[in-house]
Structure 1
Amino acid sequence: MGEDEDAVLALLDDEYARAILAHLTIEPMSVDELCTACEMSDSTAYRRLDRLHDAGLVTERQEFDPDGHHYKRYVATVENVTVTFTDGSYEVAVSRSTDPADRFTELFEGLS
């Protein structure tokens, strides 16, 4: 089992990380919104979001409010995680969703 797989399993063992992922499957949310929805502190949310981002389970988007300020909203990129036990070992497979806007960006970047 690789380091990335270990990171995914460790994250899924964490109640705050699971709560963040569950809420982000509903809609993109800011850190403040996640703190309220998941009943956690800012520092807890930021630590979990950093780990989730490093594992490729969430991504961030810059958004602008009518006052011209910008802030981040986080989006879950994971659809499901499967653990398969075979021949004395196990594998972790992560199925990620691809947002239509992300597919367009990937296509555009591939053309440059």
Structure 2
Amino acid sequence: MTTVVDPDTEAVLALLDDEYARTIIIETYDEAKSVEALSAACDADPSTVYRRIDRLQEHDLLADRQRLDPGGHHYKVYVARLEGVAIDVTDDGFDVEIDYAEEEAADTFTRLYEELSG
């Protein structure tokens, strides 16, 4: 039997097979974290973490938020949008359902403001 899976779904499943990507999702599930914190959690260089962040964001599994530090500088933190993945076996192959976390209203407003203000 040949299993046909949507290319985007296949890319998400391949990404979830990556140890760094899984660690980033787990670390950001309950609390937004900076690249530095994620780098420490993954025991990886920031460049490696940034590559995984880019791939996770391409598939809407990770969102970024702006934070203001006490010195008045802005920096990004990241929060998981992935809630769950369900895989069912069917007569035709696999049925994959990906559940995403809802964006909070304040985060939606902030994101839209940032997009509009450039």
Shift of 1:91: 2.2
Within 1, Cα distance between the matches of 2:106 and 2:56?
A: 18
1:33 aligns to 2:37 (yes or no): yes
Within 2, Cα distance between the matches of 1:44 and 1:14?
A: 12
RMSD over aligned Cα atoms: 1.9
CA 1:35–1:83: 2 relative to 1, 3 Å: same
**Equivalent position to 1:74, from 73, 78, 99:** 78
Aligned pair count reads: 107
Could you tell me which runs of 5 or more consecutive residues in structure 2 were left unpaired when the two chains were aligned.
Answer: 114-118
* CA displacement 1:4-36 (0-9 Å, x = unmatched): 101110011101111111111131001001011
* CA displacement 1:18-68 (0-9 Å, x = unmatched): 111111113100100101122111111001000000011000011111211
Fraction of identical pairs, as percent: 44
Could you tell me which runs of 5 or more consecutive residues in structure 1 were left unpaired when the two chains were aligned.
Answer: none
Give the letter aligned to residue 39 of structure 1: D
Aligned to 1:54: 58
**What is the TM-score when the length of structure 1 is the normalising length?**
0.86
**What is the TM-score when the length of structure 2 is the normalising length?**
0.82
1:6 aligns to 2:10 (yes or no): yes
